[in-house]
């Protein structure tokens, strides 16, 4: 296993342990993150997002990761998050493919890919099933996610 693979594994091991500080230590100060739920985030917003997700899970978050690969410049992993979506009290199993770009020995770009319609069917139930594939619902999911992040950040201060 090379150093970059170890870095990715350290990131997910931290996540599995609910340790946002370990996760943050794997990121470059100029981190950029993107996924279908939050859209694009940068810097402190990325760190706060992971911290918020860990806190909201109240210890009921299971993280499994596999297929970690990396070279000097980029890497990837598969991971599965199993949790209860608190807004609807529905159980979610989200299968994610992550890609990474490295700079100065740390992760500078992290992109998570997952099926937002599949996620919305689990998290939102019937509305997600009927509308989760639409741009309207996907934009609403992102707006709600960003609103939750901003509320968390304002309470943190």
Q: Residue 108: exposed, middle, or buried by beta-carbon count in 10 A (0-12, 13-18, 19+)?
A: middle
pLDDT at 157 over 80: no
DSSP letter, residue 116:
H
pLDDT of residue 134: 86
Whole-Å CA distances, 153 to 66, 116, 156: 31, 25, 5
pLDDT of residue 59: 82
pLDDT of residue 58: 85
Does residue 154 sit within a domain?
no
Short-list 112, 113, 111, 102, CA closest to 26: 102
Does residue 148 sit within a domain?
no
Beta bridge partners of 81: 63, 94
Structural domain boundaries enclosing 110: 3-115
Does residue 84 sit within a domain?
yes
Biggest CA-to-CA distance, the chain: 45
- Report the number of distinct structural domains present in the chain: 1
Residues 124-134 pLDDT 10s: 998 888 888 88
CATH number at residue 32: 3.10.450.50
Does residue 146 sit within a domain?
no
Beta bridge partners of 63: 81
Does residue 133 sit within a domain?
no
Average pLDDT of span 56-69:
93
Is residue 80 within 8 A of residue 93, CB to CB? The reply is yes
Does residue 138 sit within a domain?
no
Q: How far apart are CA 45 and CA 50, in angstroms?
A: 9
Does residue 129 sit within a domain?
no
Does residue 41 sit within a domain?
yes
**Average pLDDT for the chain:** 95
Residues 82-116 pLDDT 10s: 999 888 999 999 999 999 999 999 999 999 999 99
Is residue 80 within 8 A of residue 63, CB to CB? The reply is yes
């Amino acid at each position: 296993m090379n150093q970059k693979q170890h870095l990715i594994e350290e990131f997910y091991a931290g996540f599995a342990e609910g340790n946002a500080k370990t996760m943050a230590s794997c990121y470059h100060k100029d981190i950029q993150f993107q996924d279908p739920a939050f859209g694009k985030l940068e810097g402190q917003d990325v760190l706060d997002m992971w911290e918020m997700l860990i806190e909201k899970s109240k210890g009921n978050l299971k993280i499994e990761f596999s297929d970690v690969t990396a070279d000097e410049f980029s890497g990837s992993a598969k991971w599965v998050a199993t949790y209860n979506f608190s807004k609807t009290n529905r159980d979610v199993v989200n299968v994610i493919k992550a890609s990474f770009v490295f700079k100065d020995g740390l992760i500078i770009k992290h992109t998570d890919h997952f099926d937002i319609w599949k996620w919305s069917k689990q998290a939102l139930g019937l509305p997600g099933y009927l509308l989760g594939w639409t741009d309207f619902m996907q934009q609403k999911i992102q707006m709600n996610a960003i609103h939750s992040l901003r509320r968390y950040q304002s309470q943190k201060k």
